[in-house]
Structure 1
Amino acid sequence: MYELNCAGVIPGCDRVIRAESQADLIRKAVIQAKQLGVERITPSMMDAFRLATTEAATAH
Structure 2
Amino acid sequence: MYELNCAGVIPGCDRVIRAESEAEVIRRAVIQAKQLGVETITPRMMDAFRHGLHVTPDMTRH
Aligned residue number for residue 42 of structure 2: 42
Query: How many residue pairs are counted as aligned between the two chains?
Result: 60
Distance (whole Å) between structure 2 residues aligned to residue 38 and residue 28 of structure 1? 13
- Aligned counterpart, 2:7: 7
Residue ranges of structure 2 left out of the alignment (5+ in a row): none
User: What TM-score, normalized by structure 2, do the two folds share?
Assistant: 0.94
Unaligned 5+ residue runs, structure 1? none
Aligned position for 1:56: 56
Kindly report the root-mean-square deviation, in angstroms, between the aligned alpha carbons of the 2 structures: 0.5
Structure index of larger Rg = 2
TM-score when scaled to structure 1? 0.97
Which letter maps to 2:2?
Y
Moved over 6 A (4+): none
Q: CA-to-partner distance for each residue in 1:1-38, whole Å, 9 max, x for gaps?
A: 10000000000000100010000110000000000000
